[in-house]
Amino acid sequence: MTTATRKRNPADEGGAAFDRELDDLPPELRWREWMGRIEAVLFASASPVGREDLARVVGQGASVELLIEDIQAELGGRPYELAQVAGGWMFRTRPQFADAIKAAADLGEQSLAFTEMEMGVLCAIAYHQPIDRAGLADIFGKEVSRDLLARLRYKDLIASGPRSPRPGAPHTFVTTETFLVTFDLQSLRDLPELELPKP
């Protein structure tokens, strides 16, 4: 086999292969290192990180869930927490510090304030997805403007879903991972029960 066709090995390039198991460390130090690795991965990510991705940085016998619990216990008095949302975990500041963050930081146009109609459309999409504009019109008794849908899309709260079976196969709308994170939901199953009007 020539050097050109040989598979590259990180150790050949001067770097050591990534050691997940850390067998050379005593068990308590190994656990601390795994906790540090998980924290580092979560800290570096702007979106939730799933269990499978976190399992790549710890040994095969390690429980990602127990490591997460230990990290959460250590963060008890901190102004941020490790939360499980949208099928993974992520760091976020605790709600009681929102005013301090707004006072100190220039957050620009990151406001997620919604008009009543935007919130209504977002809820309709969340509960009835995939749904097209005609389906939304059936719910609201009037057309839902393309501008309103564009604003929700711009905030990355909705995206295009599968084509509708209606004539013309219009686009449908579905919620996104950002929607789940924004509303602190693990999945759509966490949406509150709909109270249907009594006949």
Q: What average pLDDT values come out for the chain (199 residues) when binned by 10 residues?
A: 38 62 83 88 86 88 88 87 84 81 65 80 91 89 88 89 82 89 83 72
d(CA 47, CA 50): 10
What is the per-residue pLDDT for 8?
Answer: 37
Q: Which long-range contacts (CB under 8 A, 24 or more apart) does 51-57 make?
A: 51/88, 53/88, 54/89, 56/20, 57/20
Reported pTM: 0.55
